[in-house]
Amino acid sequence: MKHPSNREFFAYWNDRRGHAKAPERGDFEPAAVRELLGDSFVLSCDADSGFPFRMAGTRLCALLGGDVKDKSFPAHFAPASRREIEEITTVVCEETLPAIAGVTAQAPDRTTAHFELLLLPFATRAHEPISLTGLLAPFETPQGALGPLEIASWRYLHVPTEPIVPRALRKLALARGLMVYEGLR
């Protein structure tokens, strides 16, 4: 991840998930990432409805041209990127696998604005709608609504499912003057 906001958002998400693949939506406290809320969003993992926004921050709404609640997330992408963002979002939801993408858009002054998009799943629970959270972090702050978003690059983030703990060292005296430390490579 290149953008500090995405690194902070991911670190909080990763901390909240503990040893699970993803945190429960109820475990994710917006107040803990208050300064990032303007660029954050929550999507419903409903491909048939176009992955509608459940919530979107004020800066994100301004960049996308107005309130986006209940509107399709992929609809804000250029036609050439729309199928790709639908597939990425589907994998994030179904495989509980975070994703990061480089995104560009044309700013009102005809320059290219660059963003980093982070998609983070929430744990699924029986009889509850599946959702994910994300952050669209701008590298420069464009003034006004953007043109359609385009994906420049993307990858999935494979987080460890088990905690990484250091191995315990055992000191074995095999012979006088020779020590073997088990657990090191």
Sorted by where each starts, the structural domains of the chain and their CATH numbers stand as 4-182 (3.30.450.20)
Torsion of the alpha carbons at 63, 29, 100 and 4, rounded to the nearest 10:
80
Question: From first to last of its 185 residues, what are the pLDDT tens digits of the chain?
Answer: 999 999 999 999 999 998 899 999 989 998 999 999 999 999 999 999 999 999 999 999 999 999 999 999 999 999 999 999 999 999 999 999 999 999 999 998 899 999 999 999 999 877 778 999 999 999 998 888 999 999 999 999 986 555 545 555 455 555 556 655 565 44
- Residue 128: the pLDDT is 78
Is residue 36 within 8 Å of 5, Cβ to Cβ?
yes
pTM summary value? 0.84
- Residue 46: the pLDDT is 95
What distance in Å separates the CA atoms of residue 72 and residue 47, rounded to the nearest whole number?
9
DSSP-derived 3-state class of residue 30: helix
Torsion of the alpha carbons at 102, 83, 47 and 10, rounded to the nearest 10:
-10
The identity of residue 7, as a single letter, is R
- Residue 42: the pLDDT is 97
Q: Exposed, middle or buried: residue 27 (CB in 10 Å: 0-12, 13-18, 19+)? A: middle
Is residue 108 within 8 Å of 83, Cβ to Cβ?
no
Tokens, residue 3: 């953008």
